[in-house]
Every structure is written in structure tokens, then in C-alpha cells.
Chains A and B, each alone.
Chain A
Amino acid sequence: MSRVGFFTDTSVCIGCKACEVACKEWNQIPMSMHGFSGKSYDNTLDLGANTWRHVAFIEQKLPLDARADGASLVDVAQASTAASNGHGMLDTYQEGDGLRWLMASDVCKHCTDAACLEVCPTGALFRTEFGTVVVQEDVCNGCGYCVPACPFGVLDQREDDGRVWKCTLCYDRLKDDKEPACAQACPTNSIQFGELDVLHERAEHRLAALREAGQSDAQLYLADSDDGIHGAGAFFLLLDEPEVYGLPPDPVDTRHHLGEIWAAAGTAAVALGAGLLAAAFGGRRG
């Protein structure tokens, strides 16, 4: 069975949140109420035990000659006016009044090298026949080791339950030859599901087309197998740097440093033994 996953083309995301709703409905996920966050239209804020698809909203004001992320339109206009001795015009290139919306549906990356899976002591987290990473909720004892291990901050413990929950890539739907709920619900085909090889090829063409059209910040994220997690089952086409979307620029599976970690622990244990011997035998009296 070839590996399947998501290609999320954020350039066509309209921020409708159908993916969030479909995911919650299909997986019977409990409520995660934060109230109005004040962070644009984002009221789920991040992935977690009760949010397995999270739509991010970023408002950027990007005049042609300035990377004014977060600067108010007034500041930029004043700067432009000052620079041209009072005759400035605010040159912008985006749709609308110099405002660019970035919207993206975030999800568990189902990493090739999945730190969560590797640190799980009970074996609850495992790799399915589809290449995805799933938590067996009848095994998980809520030790929580996977939570700080994930370089993307995906997993979390569910309150009043004690176990850790995350996106299963709709494992039950895959077994019935269906696509995941979020992919089915997405009205613009921003979330595309399929075999990873096919999705990768499609993504390259899409990146090339966007760059040709002048989107100089378009980039593929987690599409290659030589990054810190050796690629992922869910990769993205972004229109700015990953950190703008809340994603780490260089995620790394901590297991890549495991040799160092065990070597240090082992050496320290030996040093401790030497210290013990010195203390026990190092004096005149026993």
C-alpha cells in the first residue's frame, strides 16, 4: 500500500473552516471554546486534543517596497510620503486596499520521522498501513511524553479524559476507501488527499505556476525528504515563511540526536559511579 497524506495548498484557502467542522463532526470531538480571541478570525488558536484541523488567519499589509508585516497602513503611508517629499502614493500590489490575507488549514504532519511515536513508552502511537501516525486510545495511559516531543506542538492531553488525542487522518474512513472528512468538505480543494507521490508532483507544478505569476514568497513546506523530519505525510504550499503561520522553520525529530543523548546519560552514569567510589574509598575511615 503506498503512502497517502495531505497536500494543503494554502493559496486557495478561503478560511471557511469547513475542514474544522467536518473533522469535529466525523470524529465526535468535544468542544474547545476559547471565546473570541481577537486574533483575526482565528478562534481555535492552535492544534490540540480537541482541535485536529486549525485554520490560521494572518492579515498583512504589504506595500510594494516595504516588508511592513504588522505595521499599520497609516505608518507605511507616512513613510512613503516622507520618502517622496510629500508627493508619495501608497503603492500596493495585492488585492484590496494593500491588505493580503493568508489563510491556512493546519493539521498533524504525520511525519516520516515522528518524534511522538518514537518516545511513546506504551506503544500507543503506531504507524498504520497507510503510512499515517495514530494513537491507540485503549492503550494510551496519558504519560504525556509525546506532547513536548512534537516539534509542531500538535498533540495535547484531553481534559477530563487524561489521554492524548490527535488527527488520525481519518483512519476509519481510509479503511473504507473514503478520503478524510476535511478533504471531502474543503470547497476549494485546498486540502487535497491522495498518494504522496502524486501530490508531490502536483505541488511542484503549482509552486512553479505561482512563482511564475509573481508570488515570490511561495514555498513548499515539508515536501522534501532531507529536512529534520525526513518529510511528512502532510505537506503545504505556503505564501510566506513558515513561522508566520505558526509553523517551525526547521522542525527536527529529536531522535536524530538520540545517540548524543544516550551517550551523555551513559557517560554521566559512569562518572557518577567513579564519584561514588571516590567518596566511599577516598577517606582514611570507612
Chain B
Amino acid sequence: MADEIRTYHGQPVLKEPIWSWEIPCYFFTGGMAGVSAGLAGLAELRGNEELARRAWLVAFGGIAASPALLTSDLGKPTRFLNMLRMFKVTSPMSVGSWLLSASGATTGLAAANSLTGAFPRAGRVAKPAAGVFGLPLSTYTAALIADTAVPVWHGARRELPFLFGAGAALSAGAAVTAATPVEAAAPARRLALGGAVAEIAISKVMEKRLGELGEPYQQGLPHRLSLLSKLAVAGGGALVALRGAGSRPASVAGGLLMCAGGLGMRWSVFKAGFASAADPKYVVGPQRAAIERGERRGGARSEPKVSAGEPGAGSPATAPPTPLRQHAPVGD
């Protein structure tokens, strides 16, 4: 970035998001629910009924909490149904609202069938459907925050979906590991550990590729959250990997630690976005640098398309008054 970045009295160029604590928590619950549904479905295929039941329970818990969190964050919560007025592919929030509705319905049916035996025929369709919907449910939230002007989110638009996907795998695997007797929990442990390694690796790749834009992750609250969450994931992962197969207490402790780490990573990304929107240098610096390198033309033009011509041409003092336009009155 250029050294002397010019700003307007140091004021921000963008607005920080208005979202509050419910949103990073939803990133966590949605991802956990989505991948747990897939884990449950696959466990049933392998005949692991114990694991499947626990995984459907976790999936149901996550998918029940999710719309409550989202609705609570709305400025007008009673208008939550307006989210389904249309299906708009240019809006990840619109697509996600429909995904969440589909996931909610199918996961609810599947969990009900698994836990109570109700809806046997519907359950046979709902279970694989919930598993399939759960995958985009876990990654669309990354698309949502990337599809904004926030520099640290938009700048990481290629990495964030993989980070959130890994986080979802880690969270689901860890939660189900904690909830399941150790002899049935091997797939959940593998999922948690695979997700953990992937999340830590992708997080490092993302920060490296962001370069100077990634500065919010190197300082302040986003940095502390990122560090703590990596420690929790690594620590919990070690517990699960080394002791999880033999010890339920270790599985519970390790699983919960890993979940805390997964949640912490979402919060770190969330807070980094706010920091990146609040400081004008993250907007002006890269944009001005790209213009100076000739890569972008920018929004301004210094060369007029006409020659000067008449003195006073274009002067506001000589601009004709706006003519009244004649058009058919509305409702005619």
C-alpha cells in the first residue's frame, strides 16, 4: 500500500456491518448441523446406528438454533418471512435462507425418524437430502460475507468457503465425538481431526494470500481470537487423537475444546471484517495502488471528452432550469 494514503479526516469509507453476536454463532451452528446430518446419514449406511442417532441429535440441535439466531439479529424480527419473498442468486443471503429452510425441514424429519421412529417413508428421503443440503449450508455463509465490500472478507473470497467448510467438519466431528460412546465414534473422530488440520492450514494460507490486507488478523481482538482458537483446536485435537478412542471423558473434553476453537475461528473472521471496514486505509490503499500500477482505471477521469469551447460552457450559472417532464400520471 502507498505510504501517504489520503483520507477525509481519517473517516471510514465503508460502513461496518450491523450484525451482532448471533451471526458468528450461526456460522458455527449451521456448519455443525449441516455436516452432522451428512455424518449421520453415512453412519446409517455403514450400520452404525449408535453414531447415527447421536449425529442426528447434534444436527437437530444445530438446525433448530440457527433460524432463532438469525431472526433475533434482524432489525425487524417479525418480518423474518420476507426472506422467502424471492429466490435471488445474486444474494447469498437469499440462497442461504432457502438452503436453511430446506435443511431445517429435512433434518427435522430425519432426526424425528431416527429418534422416535416417526415418518418412516418421509425419513428415507429426508435423510440423504439433509446430508446433501448440509454441504452448501456449511459453505454459503463464507460466500455471504465475501460478497461485500469489506476488504478482508472480499479479499479472501477464494479461501473463506474452504475455511468455513473445514470449520464445519471440525465442529460437527467434535460435537458428535463428545456425544457418542467411544466404540462407535471413530468416523466422528476422523472427521474432527481432518477438519482441524484443514482449518488451521487454510487459515494460514488465507492470511498469507491477503498480504497487507490481512493486517487485522495480526493485531488486536481478531488476532487473539485466531490464536486462541488454533490452540483450542490443536489441544482438543491432541486429546481426541491420543485418548479419544479409549476414554469418553477425553472425547468429551477434547470434543468441546475443538468446538470452542471452531466457534472462536468464526468470531476471529467476523471481528477482522469490522476492523477492516473501519479503517479507510484498507479501502483506499489497495485501490489507489492498483490505479497507480495501471491495473485499474478507477472511478475518476481527468481528461475531458470535449475541448473547452465557449467560456462559461457547462457553468452552473448558465445551466438551464430543469424542464418539467410530461409523463402519464401513475394509475391513469
Contact = CB atoms under 8 A, between A and B. Distances in A.
Whether A associates with B in a native complex is yes
Interface of A: 1, 9, 12, 39-40, 42, 45-46, 48, 56, 58, 69, 115, 118-124, 139-145, 147-157, 161-164, 175, 177, 179, 183, 188-190, 192-194, 202-209, 211-212, 217-224, 226-229, 238, 241-252, 254-255, 257-258, 260-262, 264-273, 275-283, 285-286
B13 to A, nearest CB: 5
B48 A205 contact: no
Interface in B32-74: 35, 38-39, 42-43, 45-48, 51, 73-74
Contact of A142 (B76, B92, B311, B315): B76
Contacts of A179: 322
A250 B173 contact: no
Given A119-B92, A188-B316, A209-B315, 10 more contacts: A12-B317, A119-B91, A121-B93, A148-B17, A205-B308, A241-B6, A254-B147, A266-B139, A272-B165, A275-B198
Q: Ordered nearest first, which 9 A-B pairs have the shortest CB separation?
A: A142-B75, A162-B75, A205-B314, A206-B314, A246-B8, A286-B46, A141-B79, A268-B161, A189-B316
Q: Is the interface of A mostly helix, strand, loop or mixed?
A: mixed
A148 B7 contact: no
Interface of B: 5-9, 11-19, 35, 38-39, 42-43, 45-48, 51, 73-77, 79-80, 82-83, 85-86, 88-94, 97, 135-136, 138-140, 142-144, 146-150, 153-154, 157-162, 164-166, 168-169, 173, 186-188, 190-191, 194-195, 198, 273, 277, 280, 283-284, 287-288, 290-291, 296-302, 304-317, 319, 322, 324-327, 330
Contacts of B190: 278-279, 282-283
10 contacts: A42-B9, A177-B325, A183-B322, A204-B306, A209-B311, A209-B312, A249-B300, A257-B154, A278-B190, A285-B186
A148 B16 contact: yes
Contact of A143 (B83, B138, B159): B83
A53 B173 CA distance: 51
B57 to A, nearest CB: 17
Interface centre among A139, A221, A229, A242 (most CB of B within 10 A): A242
Nearest to A277: B42
A161 B83 CA distance: 18
A221 B299 contact: yes
Contact of B6 (A48, A143, A244): A244
A271 B135 CA distance: 9
A209 B16 CA distance: 39
Contacts of A147: 15-18
A103 B198 CA distance: 51
Contacts of B135: 269-270, 272-273, 276
Given A207-B314, A228-B299, A143 B74 contact: yes
B302 A218 contact: yes
B147 A266 contact: no
B313 A209 contact: yes
B150 A260 contact: no
Contacts of B17: 144, 147-148
A32 to B, nearest CB: 14
Contact of B15 (A150, A220, A226, A238): A150
Contacts of A220: 300-301, 304
A254 B288 contact: no
B93 A143 contact: yes
